Amino acid sequence: MTTNPSPVRVRFAPSPTGHLHVGGARTAIFNWLFARHHGGTFIVRVEDTDQARSTVESEAMVLDDLRWLGLQWDEGPDVGGPHAPYRQSERLSMYGATGQRLLELRHAYRCFCSEEMLEAKRKKAEVEKRPPHYDLTCWRLSPSEIEERVAAHAPFALRFHVPKNDDAPFSADVTIHDLIRGEVTWKRESLGDFILVRSDGLPTYNFSVVVDDHDMQITHVIRAEEHLTNTHRQVLIYRALGWEVPELAHVSLILGTDRAKLSKRHGATSVAAYADDGILSEAMVNYLTLLGWSSPDGAEVFSIEHAVAVFALDRVNAAPAVFDPHKLEWLNGQYIHVADPASLRKYVVPYLYNAGWLREETPDVDAWLDEAIDAVKKGIGKLSQFVAAMRLLFEFEPRHVLENETLATVVPEPSAKALMQILAKDLTEHGAPVDAAGYHALADRLKQASGLKGKALFMPLRVAVTGSDHGPELVRVIPLLEKASYVRGLAAVLPPLARVESLLAAIGV
């Protein structure tokens, strides 16, 4: 563990109840960027006190998702750190001790009311059109009444007392200067006495978060806007304990393209689902960074280093951000188009295995694959699309060509048929080209022999060797197909001559 001279300490505090959601990922990224920009410390703290919903599997998934994004943390449940443990379920004694202190300071009290009693009180308040605040029954118990209940082992929760303004040791009216949203104020009246520790001994979120942020010396709390309403309670706990409140920054909601809060309804919302679908982690980080933040130079495609260098909370927008999967795919495409093929290969190969086109990885295949990846990558928005884009290299079925409405009109035309015959003859005599020069020579001979040019020449040529009317440039495809037949492990790829001949046979020529 290196000691960090920067005072900036931020945390990402996931609740492990599933995969990391894109909203959580964006919060993590903003925290990480802020820490790295300031040379500070980025902490991961697992908030797993909701025992019904938290699982160890989910914690592992969330940490994996963060690793996939490339967000290294300096302190956390797996790497440890000076404020360990970093899992709330392992910090219960700390909440207990702080709860005890609040009890002694009379800022908190034991509440013996059962869930049923509380529910009845809430209902009554609703009928009487009063705010559903706790009615202070247990706040008013005398010391002997409390003692009696404790002696009888009556279960109790620990409840925070919100002081009245006139007798208060601290003000229960709260104003914060949110670094993103500006001034936000809450009045005392909006709050009733609230639970700090439940009768099962587990702390509520509002309590554990304050104890941990204080203990871990968090300087800036950067989190989702949905927690803004919790801040009133949290500030009161800080005040009661005489602790300094960290700087607060609430990042806006993420909406779907229909401007409703992003949910499963809009499609995939977990980072892992996008990873599976072929979004590169660099593109995901770049895209999520743009959700509510913009680079001062207006750049949309930028490296993480650039974002670290210029990231500041004052460029984070208070208005909700819209998550647009199409824009994510566009951005991902920008990364794919400039990536070198060898670095894409490791992502593409599993798809090719899945498609049944590759069986065993051999070094011979790598060079050919890199050429193939390079030839098709221009049209790719996400890695999974390599399958569709590369199909024409691995599969060639005359039957499919003839069943395709557009292609079926190209092939039987007399000039196309004639061209294919000339092509078959040329490939037999000269062999198929294996480089650009060879391809251009072939094209020239075809022009001469057929008298065709332009689309009339190139469309049937394309259909005859690729089985499709679109795709990467023929100058790249034809040599690739020919070379595949020399490569160990790619024997299933039909070379150009075999393709043309099988198509001619299929139309009975």
Q: Which residue from 71, 209, 279, 392 is in contact with ligand GLU, where contact means CB under 6 A?
A: 209
Query: Binding of ligand GLU at residue 385 (CB under 6 A)?
Result: no
**Helix (H/G/I), strand (E/B), else coil: 130:** coil
Bridging pattern class, strands 108-111 and 157-160: antiparallel
Minimum Å gap between C-beta 47 and ligand GLU is 4
Binding segment (CB under 6 A) for ligand GLU, from list 9-17, 61-69, 144-152, 452-460: 9-17
- Considering the complex, what minimum distance in angstroms separates the CB of residue 205 from ligand GLU? 7
What is the nearest approach in angstroms of ligand GLU to the Cβ of residue 116?
Answer: 29
Per CB under 6 A, 15 contacts ligand GLU: yes
What is the dihedral sign for C-alpha 393, 395, 396, 399? negative
Q: 181: how many CB neighbours lie within 10 A of its CB?
A: 17
Residues between 30 and 69 that touch ligand GLU (CB under 6 A): 47
Q: Which of 19, 227, 250, 345 binds ligand GLU (CB under 6 A)?
A: 227
Site string for ligand GLU, 270-309 (x = CB under 6 A): ----------------------------------------
Q: Which residue has the tokens 């001994």?
A: 201
Q: Which of 12-20, 280-288, 366-374, 417-425 is the region at the interface with ligand GLU (rule: CB under 6 A)?
A: 12-20
On whether the CB atoms of residues 198 and 208 are closer than 8 A, the answer is no
187, 261, 264, 377: which is the annotated catalytic residue? 264
Are residues 10 and 219 in contact, defined by beta-carbon separation less than 8 angstroms?
Answer: yes
Distance CA 26, CA 16 (A): 16
Task: Evaluate whether 46 touches 91 at the Cβ level (below 8 Å).
Answer: no
Q: Which of 14, 18, 246, 333 binds ligand GLU (CB under 6 A)?
A: 14
Q: Please check whether residue 8 is in contact with residue 41, taking contact to mean a CB–CB distance below 8 angstroms.
A: yes
Number of residues that bind ligand GLU (CB under 6 A): 7
Choose among 496, 508, 352: nearest CA to 427.
496
Give 180 or 390: the residue with its C-beta nearer to ligand GLU: 180
What residues contact residue 507 under an 8 Å CB cut-off, 6+ apart? 398, 402, 411, 412, 417
Q: Is 223 in the site for ligand GLU (CB under 6 A)?
A: yes
* Closest CB 75 distance from ligand GLU, rounded Å: 15
Using the rule CB under 6 A, is 193 a contact of ligand GLU? no
Applying CB under 6 A, which part among 13-21, 96-104, 158-166, 178-186 lies near ligand GLU? 13-21
User: In the block, which residue shows the tokens 């894109």?
Assistant: 22
Using rule CB under 6 A, residue 329 touches ligand GLU: no
Give catalytic status of residue 124 as yes or no. Answer: no
Q: Which of residues 154-183 bind ligand GLU (CB under 6 A)?
A: none
Q: Strand runs (DSSP E) across 161-272, as ranges?
A: 174-178, 182-186, 194-197, 220-224, 247-251, 254-255
Closest to 174 in 3D by CA, of 206, 130, 183, 161: 183
User: Is the distance from CB of 196 to CB of 101 less than 8 angstroms?
Assistant: no
Give the chain's length. 509
Candidate residues 8, 9, 10, 13; the one interacting with ligand GLU per rule CB under 6 A: 13
* Contact range with ligand GLU by CB under 6 A, out of 8-16, 264-272, 388-396, 424-432: 8-16
Query: Which residue's CB is nearer to ligand GLU, number 94 or number 125?
Result: 94
* Span of 11-19, 126-134, 284-292, 499-507 interacting with ligand GLU by CB under 6 A: 11-19
* Residue 444 CA, distance from chain mean position: 50
Output the smallest distance, CB 66 to ligand GLU, in A: 13
497: tokens are 């001559």
What DSSP designation does 139 have?
G
Measured between alpha carbons, how far is 306 from 491 in angstroms, rounded to an integer? 45
- Which residue ranges make up the site for ligand GLU (CB under 6 A)? 13-15, 47, 209, 223, 227
Active site residues: 264
